[in-house]
Amino acid sequence: MTRPEPPESQWVLPDPAAADPGQEILGVGADLEPGTLLAAYRSGVFPMPVEPGGPIGWWSPDPRGVLPLDRLRVTSSLRKSMRKFVTTVDTDFRAVVESCADPDRPHGWIDGAVIDAYEELHRIGFAHSVETRTADGDLVGGLYGVEIDGLFAGESMFSIQRDASKAALVHLVDVLKSGPQVDHRLLDVQWRTDHLASLGVIEIARPRYLTMLERTRGLEPVFPMPR
């Protein structure tokens, strides 16, 4: 289903193809309007404050962390943990983002303006959440991100029970693999961490990332429009 496009951004965003190797912050300023956010992801950059409480920076990590859909590692212990969870999609987007924004988390940067901006992207069909719940329905983990064509740009995840965020990631990969042209789909996680590497995340150089991003254009999104 075609998503309605918001008004175009009034800003000219930095071109990551013109950035120096290893340079990560390509610009500072602009806004978090839907058109600006979509233009950023489509060009290969994403917003995050330069420092907590500081101005918005436009980032393009080099190298970039990505999770090839065929390289997700699911250990036997994780499979066992997943049996106690129920995973859902887009049932409580704001609660997931607010949980990711918990101010007690180290290096937290998600503030009210960011929450509102991504909730608007969710409303028009470009941002999605995966929730991990207990059998009683309690929200104990999840993730959210932005889907444009064949790109899913993961933004953040949280877990208040062991393996709850991992269960959400496994479900996300299952959803993305359900669509056509799986080989051209891209799951961007921004940076590779030891935690994410244990799940199969790899690093790629920025030029390769931009080439892979170009291949996602025009693919049918796999997440349905939120109700």
pLDDT tens, residue by residue, 43-66: 999 999 998 788 999 999 999 999
Query: DSSP characters for 5-16?
Result: PPPPPSS----G
pLDDT tens, residue by residue, 143-186: 999 999 999 999 999 999 999 999 999 999 999 999 999 999 99
**Considering only the top CATH level, what class is 65-215?**
alpha beta
Give the residue from 60, 14, 188, 48 showing the smallest Cα distance to 117.
48
pLDDT of residue 106: 65
Q: What percent of the chain has pLDDT over 90?
A: 90
The whole-number average pLDDT for the span 121-125 is 96
φ and ψ at residue 86, rounded to 5 degrees = -120, 125
What pTM was computed for the model? 0.96
- How far apart (Å, rounded) are the C-alpha atoms in residues 36 and 179? 27
Which CATH code fits 16-63?
3.30.70.3550
- What is the domain partition of the chain in residue ranges? 16-63, 65-215
